[in-house]
Amino acid sequence: MRLTVTTDTGPVGDLRALADELDDQAAAFHLRTSDVPGVLGVCLRSLPQEWARRSTTRFVQRDGALDVDLVVAEERLAGATLDEQREVIGAGLRDLLRRGVASRTAPWDAGQRALIIDAADEALGRLGWMGGRRDRARQMLMAGSPLDDVSDATGLQLTEVETLYVTLCAET
């Protein structure tokens, strides 16, 4: 299965850079899913929330393509660090892909569907879109590690670690 990535985005966020990161995983994804026919087309969009544009998935039989169109509100990305944007996009893409792969019109068997999901999870993990630096920082903070140590170990700025700590304290 081939992976193609595009973006259609406004001035807020770093979706062009993130689309390039995902596109860099296309060869590894194809190698992992070479026995699965078709194309996985991913479009990352950042649009104003007032437009109320929703994310969609659809399988186009004549093209053998699963189209995944992830839309994130610009307001959600405004002021977010690149790592925060990776988490938002990674979680949204993972959920949307799972929904799309389950399409009844797609010709894949259960093993091929699982393989697509596994290959996508691997790619998102390699990119740090899932299980990235912020996830490691959260785990370290929950284990009681000092903020400076978390910052040093993860490479996150101390201010971002402090923000994560405050958020974790508010959640508990």
The 3-state DSSP class for residue 51 equals: helix
pLDDT tops 90 at residue 136: no
Q: Quick one: 49 and 90 in the same domain?
A: yes
pLDDT at 146: 94
Question: Is residue 81 domain-shared with residue 161, that is, in the same domain?
Answer: no
Interval 56-103: pLDDT, tens: 999 999 999 999 999 999 999 998 888 889 989 999 999 999 999 998
Q: How many domains does the chain have?
A: 2
The whole-number pLDDT of residue 65 equals 95
Q: What's the confidence (pLDDT) of residue 98?
A: 95
* Predicted local distance difference test score (pLDDT) of residue 29: 97
96 with 11, same domain: the answer is: yes
Same structural domain, 145 and 156: yes
Are 27 and 83 in the same domain? Answer: yes
Range of the domain at 70: 2-131
Residues 6 and 54 in one domain: yes
Query: 42 or 156: which carries more pLDDT confidence?
Result: 42
Instruction: Let me know: does 13 contact 74? Beta carbons within 8 Å.
Output: yes
Residue 164's pLDDT band, with cuts at 50, 70 and 90, is confident
Whether residues 120 and 154 fall in one domain: no
Please determine, for residue 9, whether its predicted confidence score (pLDDT) is greater than 80.
no
Q: Are residues 32 and 73 in the same domain?
A: yes
The C-alpha atoms of residue 70 and residue 96 are separated, in whole angstroms, by 7
110 vs 138, residue with greater confidence:
110
Dist. CA 128–CA 124, nearest whole Å: 6
Residue whose token pair is 């400076």: 148
Task: Give the range among 15-19, 118-122, 154-158 with minimum mean pLDDT.
Answer: 154-158
The confidence score (pLDDT) of residue 64 equals: 92
For residue 100, what are the CA distances in angstroms to 4, 12, 30, 57, 135? 15, 26, 18, 5, 26
Same domain for 157 and 119?
A: no
Pairing of the two strands 39-47 and 65-73: parallel
Q: Mean of the per-residue pLDDT values for the chain?
A: 91
Model pTM greater than 0.95?
Answer: no
pLDDT at 111: 95
Q: Mark whether 42 and 95 lie in a shared domain.
A: yes
Q: Say whether both 156 and 117 belong to one domain.
A: no
- The answer on 105 and 37 residing in a single domain is yes
Angle between helices 133-142 and 147-154 (to 10 degrees): 150
